[in-house]
Chains A and B, each alone.
Chain A
Amino acid sequence: MELKKTPLYDEHKRLGAKLVEFGGWKMPVQYSSIIEEHKTVRENAGLFDVSHMGEILIEGADALNFVDHIITNSVSKLKNGQICYTPMCYTNGTIVDDLLAYRFSDVKVLLVVNASNTDKDYKWINDQSKGFRVSISNKSPKYAQLALQGPKAEEILTKISGVNLSEIEFYHFTTGRINGIESIVSRTGYTGEDGFELYFDAESAIPMWRRILDIGSSYGVKPCGLGARDTLRFEACYMLYGNDIDDTTTPLEAGLKWAVDFDKAEFNGKEVLVEQKEKGLKRRLRGLEVSKGVARHGYKIFTENKEIGYVTSGTKSPTTGRSLALGYINIEHSKYGTEVEIEIHGRRIPAKIVKTPFYRGSVRSGK
């Protein structure tokens, strides 16, 4: 299958990006160096092309009820102009995808989903919609999406913003013109830093991208790739679908209880999740500090020769310099401070369970 390209593909090539396959897309993994781009976001601000993300629009009289049926969090409890992060579960409580739900009104909600899951999600959402008065449309090809992330993001974007960015609270959005281009602007991100995500007509992608890089250059803004996006989200301990969460794990196991609204009368997976909550979990996603080397997805975790879990993500954290990992660990061994071992290239390497997130950036709230 031919890889999909974002409207900024030629810009990335022109900037000398290293391009890789990601979830069916040809995407920039880095422009200069992952560590350098990572630090740019932590210290100044970085610009990411995340146009590969999927946008699925739910409209109709039952929009709120329908979305609340398919997600674990609640859009009914949001105000118009507010956003929630949420898992979307199968009826067995495992995760179809994790997404952001933008509540525009009582009859309109936009779901922003992972690129590699867009087609699967669209089908799943349609399959769930029987009996609900909603229309579901996949708007992904229509939208370009950029993320400007870092402590200086607001100051920079304000220069070309027709909306008052300081009035947008964390996990809220508005619509208006940025660089003269009609956009959805939200104070959201995937880096642990303050920042904004912009959604606008794919045809305007190049002027928007160039202008932000241009005005940002005196603030140290650089284009940043998926490599830095991954190390940044990892330090902030944001989930990566396919690594930390998938269709074998539940939101509770992943520590996403805060994004599950048990007050709702029903939602996909509720029965299983209630049972897990009442009976207790068998395993839990934990942070690990590794004493030597780097733990990667799939590496096994042991204690005294007994396998007790596996690593879901890991790297040497560019901000802290520590070798860190996330992994599922059997509940009886999951206490903070527990010493475990991770099998790295055939050797058992000592590691310790530590608190998450690994790093707190300029983001205005933890959740």
Chain B
Amino acid sequence: MQPASGQAFVGRGFKYGMVWPAVLVILLIGLFPIVYTAIVSFQNIDMFGEDTSFQGGVHYARLMGDARFWQSVLHTMIFLVVALPLELVLGLLLALLFLDRLPGKQIFVALLILPVVTSPIIAGSTWRLLFDNRYGPINQILSWLTGEPATVLWTVNPVYVYPAILLAEVWQWTPFMFLLLLAGLSNVDQSLNEAAELDGAGFWKTFWYVTLPIIKPVILIACLIRALDLFRLFDVVWALTRGGPGTMTETVSIYAYVLAFKQFETSYAAALAVVIIVLLSLVVMAALRRVEFAR
């Protein structure tokens, strides 16, 4: 028996009534800051003056011609394209290693994920101490190995600043890749691998043609999460170099921070944030389509 239309309406209304508070909260928390940031980006707000007048797209036009902004995008991309593959490959190798039963596996896994649970600013500060010329063990070890005093200025010399930051970054986030990929690999049906082996496929062929396609969605999601994180890279760089020497390692996030909280250019920083939000949203949408496709 079909319910009467009035009852259906009451039922639907009740459902919407139950849902709307949650939707409202999500909109307030998630959408409002973005909308407000967008509004601010068209105004003329800084921390020193009272002027909040509408400025149109002035800040966006200025941003397009801001060499420091584009340099910060470039630096961010360098970190992204170097760190992401490194973390992926190292994470995958570790996951393959820990896929089999190993003595003390649980202890090793627990130790491996310690960097992930460390606050990035703490990790960065720790690496700064490790790299310190006077007190740090890294130069000390290099001195032992080379037999002469090693004075590598990791956070000053342009040759070493990128390797130093990347080392800290890869150290901290490879375990994250490892965990996701280990979970993905653990869910691969072993009968498929066994069938491939029976057909005469070796380890690498089995891995390439059987395992990898199965865990591809997991890899894409892991890469997407890490790529977004790397695009927001701040803490480790700030702790190690503060974006220096000069602005040589300044990322987009650091530049946004400097604009908003050091130079107090609130509206200009908001314009930068909006551009980044739009760019990242496009990347995320494209990546999610790829994940769907991979399924």
**B and A form one assembly:** no
Residue ranges of B at the interface with A (Cβ–Cβ < 8 Å): none
